[in-house]
Amino acid sequence: MSLQQQITTEFQQRFNQLPTFVVRAPGRVNLIGEHTDYNEGFVLPMTINRSMWIALRPRDDQKVIISSLDFPDFADFSLDEIIHGESWDEYVRGMAWVLQTEGYHLQGWEGILASDIPVGAGLSSSAALELSVARAFWAISRWDWNPTKMALAAQRTENEWLGLKSGIMDQMISSNGKEDHVLLIDCRDLTSQLIPLPEGVSVVVLDTASRRSLIDSAYNERVTQCKLASDFFGVVALRDIPLAILETRSVGLDALIRRRARHVVTENNRTLQAAEAMQAGDAIKLGQLMNASHLSLRDDYEVSSEELNTMVEIADSQPGCFGARMTGAGFGGCAVALVQNSSAPSFADEVAVAYQEQTGFQPYVYICHPTNGAELVEG
Ligand code: ADP
Ligand code: MG
């Protein structure tokens, strides 16, 4: 039974009627463009066929009541006075709070949500939750839906309601994504361009099943190092530095900071080249760029891990693999590989076995294809 059928059935049992609306929003994986977002650069993420689903019906008061099939506790709050909760429902409350402060007219509803996006694996279950909640409110009130504005509202939810320093990529792709396409996002002005995924290739997400706790401090340290580099060159962000300038005018710049900057500058170039290769349907070039991205993240930016390096090496050595790299902030989490369609199932099996043999961790492997961004599915 699909997740859509499952929440519909569950809704029916609980409320004795079919849901008035069913909405969904997808998780995502970043193909290339890592640690470039906070340098006002480029990213190239893709939605995946794993989503957050909500089945709901409007209420005639200002209450929102929602339970998750995956988490205990349920949300029950009033739009008249939104206060903080203590569980997963913070994302729901926060989204409602942001939308109201931005002037959207919201009405109460009740329903059920469920998701097949693994939590905390780096596939962005939180952005999917935010965007599906926005779609749920929209389904009732029908304001003019602008995906990029909704992405910004979802980011504000994480930044201002939850106090997290999240970038804009996850929300942008979960709201602007499209079936069979990837999205090139300019993180400076938030313009974006949909590009078809080349035919005959599969995107495979390889979860190393390893997580690191130091990730927040390491992340903040990289942000600070990038700021030092952009200050050195007197620019707003590293996005503004061409590679030639970095190579010829960095006398006096600390060697470590220079390496960090080199990752960002070369990664921006790679991301733009990857978008071009994608447009030309050139999977070989795309794979090479992904491999180069991994080496840069491993050696210049130093955010990879033993498990990620092992996973990428194993993936790269399989037949039908065009390229692979770590994806996400790093130190653990997922890698992503570009694989010939016909090889994808055997690739998934072989990589899983070899990785477990070498590391002792049991990996999760997802063969993904891009789906639509946050949307109304029924109603
Ligand atoms: P991710 O990398 O998956 O986005 P986050 O830590 O940013 O990880 O977000 C995970 C949080 O999103 C969970 O702690 C929970 O609050 C919420 N969440 C994700 N999936 C669900 C779900 N199926 N039901 C309820 N809440 C969920
Ligand atoms: Mg998240």
Annotated catalytic residue within 170, 207, 300, 316: 170
Whether 50 contacts 364, CB under 8 Å: no
Ligand 1 centroid – CA 245 distance (Å)? 41
Residue 129 near ligand 1, beta carbon < 6 Å: yes
Ligand nearest to the CA of 327: 1
Residue nearest to atom 27 of ligand 1 (CA): 88
pLDDT of residue 215: 76
Written as tens digits, the pLDDT of the chain (379 aa) is 899 999 999 999 999 999 999 999 999 999 999 999 999 999 999 999 999 999 999 999 999 999 999 999 899 999 999 999 989 999 999 999 999 999 999 999 999 999 999 998 889 999 999 999 999 999 999 999 999 999 999 999 999 999 998 889 999 999 999 999 999 999 999 999 999 999 999 999 999 999 877 778 899 999 999 999 999 999 999 999 999 999 999 999 999 999 999 999 999 999 999 999 999 999 999 999 999 999 999 999 999 999 999 999 999 999 999 999 999 999 999 999 999 999 999 999 999 999 999 999 999 999 999 999 999 999 9
**280 Cβ closer than 6 Å to some ligand 1 atom:** no
54, 116, 126, 174: residue to mutate for ligand 1 pocket, most atoms within 8 A of CB = 126
Residue of minimum CA distance from atom 11 in ligand 1: 126
| Residue 119 CA to ligand 1 centre (angstroms) | 5
d(CA 88, CA 316): 37
Global pTM value: 0.96
Domains along the chain with CATH numbers: 3-37+45-194 (3.30.230.10), 201-368 (3.30.70.890)
pLDDT (tens digit per residue) in 202-259: 999 999 999 877 778 899 999 999 999 999 999 999 999 999 999 999 999 999 999 9
Question: Is residue 124 lining ligand 1, measured as CB closer than 6 Å?
Answer: yes
Ligand 1 atom closest to 68 (CA) = 24
pLDDT of amino acid 76 = 96
Residue 68 DSSP SS3: strand
Q: Which of 129, 133, 159 has the most ligand 1 atoms within 8 A of CB, as the residue to mutate?
A: 129
Counting ligands in written order, the one closest to the CA of 129 is: 1
Long-range contacts formed by 163-171: CB under 8 A, 24+ apart: 165/219, 165/220, 166/126, 167/37, 167/38, 168/37, 169/28, 169/30, 169/37, 169/43, 169/45, 170/28, 170/45, 170/124, 170/126, 170/127, 171/127, 171/130, 171/131
pLDDT tens, 281-293? 999 999 999 999 9
Q: Let me know if 144 is a catalytic residue.
A: no
CA of 344 from ligand 1 middle (Å) equals 28
Find out whether the beta carbon of 126 lies less than 6 Å from any atom of ligand 1: yes
